[in-house]
Amino acid sequence: MSASATSPSASTRPLLAIETSCDDTACAILAYDGTILAEGVLSQTDHAILGGVVPEIAARAHLDALPALVAEVLKKASLTLADIDTFAGTTGPGLIGGLIVGSSYAKGLAMALHRPFVAVNHIEAHILTPRLPSLGADLHFPYLTMLVSGGHCQCVSVEQTGRYVRLGGTIDDAAGEAFDKVAKMLGLGWPGGPALEKLATEGRDDAYPLPRPLKGREGCDFSFSGLKTAVSRLIDTQDPTGSRDALPHQFAADVAASFQRAVADVMADRAEHALALSPNATALVVAGGVAANKTLRHALEQVAANHRIPFLAPPLRLCTDNAVMVAWAALERLHAGETPNEIDTAARPRWPLSERTPSTPEHAS
């Protein structure tokens, strides 16, 4: 980067964001126009042997990693902390320990430098990511987003920055949870989604007639608990002792492929229903960690084609948790004319999109 980056102009106004809602520690710096100046993500690996994210371990790891990661991202951008115009941090929803660590770190930097702090909703960050200018999508409101991640599964009509209509959500497990649990049943370990997708490439997706919960029903809600139970019973027919190492490889691959197909069919059906409720949608978007799944993307892409609207999905690195999306969500609010300084907002594990900012400490729930 040129030397001018160390003395940013009014049009550059760098914003530094931190994301620590689960087990990824992330930091990114964006210029005011959305140009990505630098980014970094550290993925925690200690949870794999424990079969899932342990909140306290994750929070401690964030605390250990943040100082060096922030310094590294600043160096990549050829900037110093004094050059940063605004700070932002994921303030919810997510694991409360990690949220407190990351948002408090960003708030501390903002306070020390007398800069504003923007509290960012993790879900809002995911659904606004496709509007990032560097992606070249030129995405206009309103559009429909299928948010599919480990902790969230929602169908949202994105009307404007800050105005979202939740058309449906999961009534039990999120899609990502179902992927991880089925992967564990198949002896694939954690995180299970990528491993299951890889195994599914060796199987037949019509091998087993698994249920498609809520498919064809009115509305846009999701349910994956029954599908997960059906997979468990199917596996028990081959492995009644529960020793997953005994599963025949081809059987496991066919189960993985059949399960993945069932999830994709359900998501496509829910998207069809959502588009019927959103006739003015300019595009169909998929976001969240499970959006990296190619079978799911293809199914939703076909739905968009049927409705003659674009299908958009962020690049894989921006589907999983990252700080670029957090920075962009904060910038979207600035571009909309807001001048937020939410230094007193409290982190919390749940934060509906219908609420603009989390509760202040006195009213936190």
User: What distance in Å separates the CA atoms of residue 208 and residue 7, rounded to the nearest whole number?
Assistant: 61
Q: Does the annotation place 324 within a ligand binding site? A: no
Q: Does residue 136 have a known ligand-binding role?
A: no
Kindly give, in sequence order, each residue whose CB lies less than 8 Å from that of residue 229, ignoring residues fewer than 6 positions away: none
Tokens matching residue 25: 């520690």
- On whether 148 is known to bind a ligand per the annotation, the reply is yes
Is residue 147 part of an annotated ligand binding site? yes
Q: Residue 365 in 3-state DSSP?
A: coil
Burial 121-151 (b: 16+ CB within 10 A, else e): bbbbbbbbbbbbbebebebeebbbbbbbbbb
Local structure of 156: helix, strand or coil: strand
Q: Is 164 exposed, middle or buried (0-12, 13-18, 19+ CB in 10 A)?
A: buried
Using DSSP's 3-state secondary structure scheme, residue 83 falls into helix
Q: Which of 158, 138, 147, 123 is CA-nearest to residue 278? A: 158
The phi, psi pair for 152, rounded to 5°, reads -135, 145
Q: Which residues does 67 contact at the CB level (< 8 Å), separation at least 6?
A: none
Residues in CB range of 118: below 8 A, 6 or more apart: 15, 86, 87, 88, 89, 330, 333, 334, 340, 342
341 is in an annotated binding site: no
Is 216 a known ligand-binding residue? no
293 annotated to a ligand binding site: yes
Phi-psi sector, 343: left (phi>0), alpha (psi -120 to 50), beta: alpha
Q: Are 330 and 303 in contact (CB under 8 A)?
A: no
Helices (H) and strands (E) in the chain, counts: 10, 10
Is 122 part of any known ligand binding site? yes
Q: Based on the number of CB atoms within 10 Å of its own CB, is 187 exposed (0-12), middle (13-18) or buried (19 or more)? A: middle
Binding positions for Fe cation are: 122, 126, 321
Binding positions are: 122, 126, 147-151, 180, 193, 197, 293, 321
Binding positions for substrate are: 147-151, 180, 193, 197, 293
